[in-house]
Amino acid sequence: MTQDDIRAFFAAHPSVFIQIAGQGDGSPEVAWGDSFIFVRDASGAPKKMPFATIVTKDYAGFDVESKLDRGGLFRLNLDVGRDKFNELFGFAPKELAQHRAEIDFAALDRIVPHPAYGEQAWMSVINPSSASKAQTEALMRFALERALGRAGAAG
């Protein structure tokens, strides 16, 4: 899967708003090139927090465990909620600190807790491939439906 594939998947839903951060849109320079995926609320306005992101680089001093600066990598991040997080990883988001040493956050094409936002029930995958496409798309669909329900937007 490419970044374009992921954005197209979400863009197919009329309640989704996608922002690719760039110069002139008020985004911090470190975020330029990264994608932020929101749902619109019942009034049509994008929610303040994205339910999915695509990041293309490490954020120095904050989010470096994925080692995205190795070249040509991106990481899809999804807010999946506590129940799905527990189902995926076998422990609650609040227990992530106890499991960090067991997780390779830099592994390619592997569903893992988000290195910085796992405790908020986010998961991530670096460069999802055809091997994980079905699972990744199922998680994308789940995160979208969850975000739509929370926003009061039409599903």
Count of beta carbons in the 10 Å neighbourhood of residue 146? 18
Domains of the chain (ranges, CATH numbers): 3-151 (3.90.1150)
**Three-state DSSP state, 59:** strand
How high does pLDDT run on average in the chain? Answer: 94
Confidence of residue 153 (pLDDT cuts 50, 70, 90): low
Higher pLDDT pick, 41 / 144: 144
Q: CA angle, corner 37, sides to 136 and 43, nearest 5?
A: 125
Tell me if 109 sits within 8 A of 99, measured CB to CB: no
As a whole number, mean pLDDT of residues 47-70 equals 94
**What whole-number percentage of the chain has pLDDT above 90?**
88
Q: Is the pLDDT of residue 155 over 70?
A: no
Q: Please state the pTM of the whole predicted model.
A: 0.94
Comparing C-alpha atoms, which of 51, 54, 55 is closest to residue 79? Answer: 51
Question: Looking at this protein, which amino acid is placed at residue 121?
Answer: A
pLDDT reported for residue 41: 86
Lowest mean pLDDT among 10-19, 20-29, 41-50, 52-61: 41-50
